Structure formats: structure tokens, C-alpha cells
Amino acid sequence: MLRYGKHPVGWLLLVLVSILALGGCGGGSDKQAALAPWEGTWKSLSVYLDDPALTPSCEAVAAHNAAYTPQGVLGFLKKMYRCDFAGMVVKGDSVTFRKVDGSVLGTVSYRSAGTAPIPGNDKPWHLFEAVGDPGEAYRYLALVEVHSDGPDAMKHWHLRYGNTSLEALVGSEADATWWPTMAAEDTTAAAVAADLGSEAEAFAQFLGNPWTPWLGTWVSVSSYLDDPAMEAAYAAVVAEATKLGKSYDTASVKAFFKGMLHTPFASVRISADATVFLTADGTELGRGGYVYQGVVPMPGFEGSLWDHWTATGSSPAGYGRILTTAVHSDGPEAMKHWHMRFGDASLQDLVNPSNPMWFPTCVKPETTAAVFAEDVKGEAAAYAAFLP
């Protein structure tokens, strides 16, 4: 699953380290044959990932990359192959999306919307747009042609789907680590495991350092909460809370934010081999190396995942275990940020803390208190809904 045609480690690796760009919409094929290359019944690789047959293959990959445990390798696969449906039936111009229980999510007709280039590869994304209302299914699809990594290797193909835009799927802001993958319906877990195991060393290199998306220095927004710029943000949340029949003033909203965003550190500096927690004056509160343990569900936020890390060697007090979300933003113009939890407690105690709304948040240093305040004002209704 790592090689495409003659490329040794794979076009997928090249894409993951490249910036995706949405290209021109030329190259559309005849409408009647638009989905012909993908015709058939397909199953998402995501449905195989909890099968014990994959355990030896994940162990083999982890043996070549010390930054991952076998469970961490599996966690990476779960994020990469994440798919909200279990399979697809492609026939003519329509796609039927199947749920895990075999029921149908929806059947949608599509028309070609052209192609978009994949940097580093001569094969493009094939773009499709729904004809009419897709209902509970998906308005946009981006597909890669069916391929295999060798004469006897498993045939499969990659896709992305969504309802925002094609640009959101393959443009510069797309999630470059998200590669839902389809294989033939009769593909077994043993075949998926064999495919991964045969490329264990190459896949380990492909994984790289798990901290890559978070590398750099990040500021805890808890350090902004007493800034005068935040007063207008607190007032905006009060106004939205009032609409919901909740009784709050700016002081009580501020107290809620302090509980939700509390960290003893002002910033965190993440490199490939160490994570350092710092006070406002640069004093180190803790430093440690971490190994990636995989993903765990985030209670109350369906479909959301925590990434799970544990310290290696001497654990810094208070930071023996870390949970992180992906770096993200809440809109095209919104600030980039990520959430975390940390401590020496058990995994379950961090996933289900005494304050379930404890979501420490980190932003880039160029995100000032004023910028954060504007972001809160823009999300005031959502924050008001969180208030007890």
C-alpha cells in the first residue's frame, strides 16, 4: 500500500511531505464513464484495523521506528484510514455508501469535476461533485485510480470525501495525513496484514517522527486570560449565555475559562526528541522524550480522538502522560491551535478528568491575546453552550 507504480516508497509518501494544491479542473472524462474505473463493491481498510491479524505486522513496523509502540503504529493507521462508512458500491454514475452494519447511508449520483495534481506524482486526483442533494452522504469526492504495489499485491485505491468543497479535500489546507483506502470486498484481514508486514521497514520510514505536526514553540492561551483584550470576549459569551437562559457575568465566565484552559506552563517547545514545558520567563518545568501509544476516543465528541503519548526514561513530574488533538482551526480564517491534557494519572483519568471541560489549548506565538480574544468572540455561542 506504500508504492504506486514504479515509485519505491510510494507516491503517498511524496504527497504527505508535499503541500497539496488544487489544480485546474480540466481532464474530466465522459459523464457516462466517469466512475467506470472504480466500478464494483469495495470495503474500507478501516474496518480491518481492530482484527488481531494485524498485531504482528504492527509489531514489525514498530521494530523499525523506536518513536512508536505497536499500538502507536495501529493508531497512525486508524487516523490515516479513518472512514465514516464501511464500504462503497460503485455502479454507473452512482455510489452507494454502506455502514458497518450493512445498512445504506445513501446512494448519490456524481458528475466529473475534472482533476487536480498530486505533487510528486504523475497521477492526479479525480474529482467528482454530487448531482442534486446528497442527503446524509457526501457532495464531493476525490479519488485515485485503482492500483497495486506489485503483480500479486492487494488492489486498492485512495479517496477523500466531504461536503465543504473540493478545495478542502485536496487543497493546501487539506489534512495531508488522511488517506481513506478501499480494497475489494473479499479482501481479508490476513491479506491486509500481509501487505503491511511485507513493507514493514518502508512503512516505518514512512511514519517518520510522530511529533512532526506539533514541532515548534506553542503558547498556552491560559497566559492570555487576564489580558484586558479578553474582557470583550467574556462579555460576548455572557450575551450568548443570556440567550440560553444562563445567568453569568464576565467574572464567572472568566473563571470558567481559567478552569477549562489551565496549565502551569506558559509555553511548550516540541522537537523531534524532546518536549519542554516552560514558564513565562523561560524556566523549565519539565522535559522529556515521549513514545507514541496510539489513539483513544474523546468522550462527548463523537468521532474525535486523542493522541496518546507516554514519557520514556525519567518521566518529568506532572507530565508522564500526554494527550493531544491534531493541530486544527475552526474555520478558514480562524487561528490554528490544538488541545492537550497532561499528568501522571492513568490514561482513563486523563480521558475522563474531574473537570470534563478541561481542554488546555496551545497556539503559535504570533497568536496574540487580542487575536485569541477575537477568536473567542467569533465562537461565543459555542462557548456559551459549554457553560453549565
Interval 138-182: pLDDT, tens: 999 999 999 987 777 889 999 999 999 999 999 888 888 899 999
Please count the other Cβ atoms lying within 10 Å of the Cβ belonging to residue 214.
17
Q: What is the pLDDT of residues 305-319, one digit of tens each?
A: 999 999 997 778 899
Distance, CA of 201 to CA of 137 (rounded, Å): 37
Distance, CA of 355 to CA of 261 (rounded, Å): 11
Rg, Å, the chain Cα set: 23
Distance, CA of 150 to CA of 218 (rounded, Å): 43
Contacts of 228 (CB under 8 A, 6+ apart): none
Please count the other Cβ atoms lying within 10 Å of the Cβ belonging to residue 292.
23
Q: Give the percent of the chain with pLDDT over 90.
A: 79
* CA dist list (Å): 207 to 55, 122, 160, 303: 17, 23, 20, 23
Contacts of 169 (CB under 8 A, 6+ apart): 125, 140, 142, 160, 161, 162
Burial annotation 265-275 (CB, 10 A radius, 16+ → b, else e)? bbbbbbeeeeb
Q: What is the pLDDT of residues 229-247, one digit of tens each?
A: 999 999 999 999 999 999 9
pTM confidence score: 0.82
What is the pLDDT at residue 32?
53
What is the pLDDT at residue 313?
79
Would you say residue 15 has pLDDT above 50?
A: no
C-alpha cell at 126: 479525480
